[in-house]
Amino acid sequence: MSSYYMDDRSGVANDRDRDSNTCAICRSAMSSRDALTKLACGHVLHRGCAKVCVSTGFKCPYCGKSLMTRYSNL
């Protein structure tokens, strides 16, 4: 049986990381004053909205890349 974990090693996002000014989850504008999270695939969301990704299938809403990584891939 494989074990998975949420890949959250991607770090903190800044203005240069955003491909869009709109969060794909809440559709609200993102600014440098907001708490932003950069996903492992490089896409940026509001930090609170990124948590929604976990409850909706563990996939990036922009590219569909899995946010889960097998322990054996570490």
What is the 3-state secondary structure of the chain?
CCCEEECCCCCECCHHHCCCCECCCCCCECCCCCCEEECCCCCEEEHHHHHHHHHCCCECCCCCCECEEEHHHC
- What are 57-67's pLDDT values in tens digits? 778 888 888 87
15-57 pLDDT, tens digit per residue, is: 554 556 888 888 899 887 888 888 888 888 888 888 877 777 7
Q: Does domain 4-73 have CATH number 3.30.40.10?
A: yes
pTM to 2 decimals?
A: 0.62
With 50 as the cut, is the pLDDT of residue 1 above it?
no
Residue 73's pLDDT is 44
Tell me how far apart the alpha carbons of residues 26 and 9 are, in angstroms, rounded to a whole number.
Answer: 23
Q: Please tell me the predicted confidence (pLDDT) of residue 20.
A: 67
What pLDDT does 38 receive? 83
Give 62: exposed, middle or buried? Use CB within 10 Å, 0-12, 13-18, 19+: middle
